[in-house]
Chains A and B, each alone.
Chain A
């Protein structure tokens, strides 16, 4: 019943549009003493969740619909974040201590002038382009190497994790010109707007909402075309697709590159809301987090990753306050539980409950029959 499914999706899309673009920003505009006022802090937290949701969607596009499990989706996210972070660092301006326009960590390390690859990042459009092409190019090059050598399944996953690990080691180094383990922070302005101003934060929140909705539309459209059918066919039987005359390598390469670009965009909007980007965003554990979000929400469904990213992060912010020590255990337990008992995640729960209900009903019918 595809039409009914489309209707449900349209309604959910409309609700998300209303909530993220109208209701939440409007509540933030209410006077601070109002009961319904949404603080800029809370809005910022939700803005980060929206970025995580886009990150989860980018992984789901790759893993849920093409069968390629990337354990380094956070690397593309972080690269997008770093690209915008470079622009934000240059917008800080001269500081009172060192009296130079260089980013603080460069003054500290004794740089006299800006390294050449930093210079174009004074331009916002250049930074935004870099947010997309840097992760995209990395995914493209890695993809060519992996897919042409027919690396797939678990081997592909391990290699993406190794790539992420290598990149994080590089970014942890002070002499890599990206601030070492402190990364970038203390941002002041974006496009001339003060980052402490509630209006600026609201604008970035709305931008995150728009990115989420556009990503949703793009993925929905791709899945509705023949391209989307081929993509899913690759997941189910790549050999058959190849022996039907398709170059599966180009399809996979396109999907991987696009998912890298989407993750990069999510990272770029995350950084001004988080106020910091450092190599801890690139560690292997963060890549696994994204996998858990997608699995919990429902892999291979359109809204599953959005729900998963938001639910798991809400749970995290609650659990780390209540019992910080055991959060990793909770997260791990949640993942195991979902994989074993809820293969379709939260989104698949209604169908699963319906199944159980019909099973119980038939069993009841079977036991009452002899009487």
Chain B
């Protein structure tokens, strides 16, 4: 189960090493190595088909790698091999994922959406006798405050705007009190103002949580990356990694983004 302790003292929360994945002969991920530090906000960019979503699928157990290791480093020093855990168990270990299209419970209220996301009574029979505690209510209030939906707490989630649904889903991840948040294209389909507010929200979460954000919109990437690292994926592997400006001026990255068709 446990990995060689090469990360000791560096406060890593997630290590991905030598991962490969092939779908029907198509190499979606090839020899990928990736490390996420505690409290870091990492942005991942890359052209379509670079393997960004597959990468998230593998961390959350939706897809299993052919070879390589995915390890979660718990604060108590335990290492957990994610390739052997069921999806819902990976969530319970503290890895929360936001999907590209907003996935909220449209028939439930905003409050109930958050309530169902709290890490409480998630078993079949415990859910029958669960009563929300004062602590649970406070936690939900806190999340509502963070995602700025306090006024809409009793609204049916299906009636929210696209942007509000995205924030609600981020709030649902926060309710889970996760160590790592995986956020897939949060700004897709949002207005400039909403995009900016989403950026502020994600920045405010860094430090308390570790985040991986996949995004296409370069203005948004620049906003949230600040001095942090940006990872460029290309053909299932890391093309380069560094600060936003370095990455932007990297000739290889320019080649991939601008000169597609020439590069094979």
Contacts and interface: CB of A to CB of B under 8 A. Distances in A.
Interface string A225-236: 111011011011
Interface in A214-253: 222, 225-227, 229-230, 232-233, 235-237, 239-248, 250-251
Contacts of A247: 86, 88, 123-124
A245 B97 CA distance: 11
A245 B123 CA distance: 9
Interface residues of B, number: 32
Contact of A245 (B88, B108, B112, B130): B88
B99 A240 contact: yes
Contacts of B218: none
A253 B115 CA distance: 23
B172 A244 contact: yes
Contact of B99 (A225, A232, A233, A239): A239
B157 to A, nearest CB: 9
A245 B91 contact: yes
A230 B88 CA distance: 14
A250 B169 CA distance: 24
Interface string B109-147: 000100111010111100111100000000000000000
B17 to A, nearest CB: 24
Interface residues of A, number: 24
Contacts of A165: none
Given A236-B105, A237-B105, A240-B105, A225 B127 contact: yes
B105 A245 contact: no
A243 B122 contact: no
Nearest to B132: A226
B127 A250 contact: no
Contact of B88 (A222, A229, A236, A246): A246
Contact of A243 (B60, B106, B107, B130): B60
B87 interface: yes
B108 A229 contact: yes
B127 A230 contact: yes
Contacts of B226: none
A61 to B, nearest CB: 15
Nearest to B98: A243
Given A225-B130, A227-B127, A243 B116 contact: no
Contacts of A250: 124
A225 B129 contact: yes
B119 to A, nearest CB: 6
Given A232-B107, A233-B105, A233-B108, A244 B117 contact: yes
B104 interface: yes
22 contacts: A225-B128, A226-B115, A227-B128, A229-B112, A229-B115, A232-B105, A233-B116, A235-B107, A237-B104, A240-B105, A240-B172, A242-B87, A242-B88, A244-B116, A244-B117, A244-B122, A244-B172, A245-B88, A245-B89, A245-B92, A247-B123, A250-B124
Interface of A: 222, 225-227, 229-230, 232-233, 235-237, 239-248, 250-251, 254
A-B complex: 3 closest residue pairs judged by Cβ atoms = A245-B91, A240-B103, A227-B127
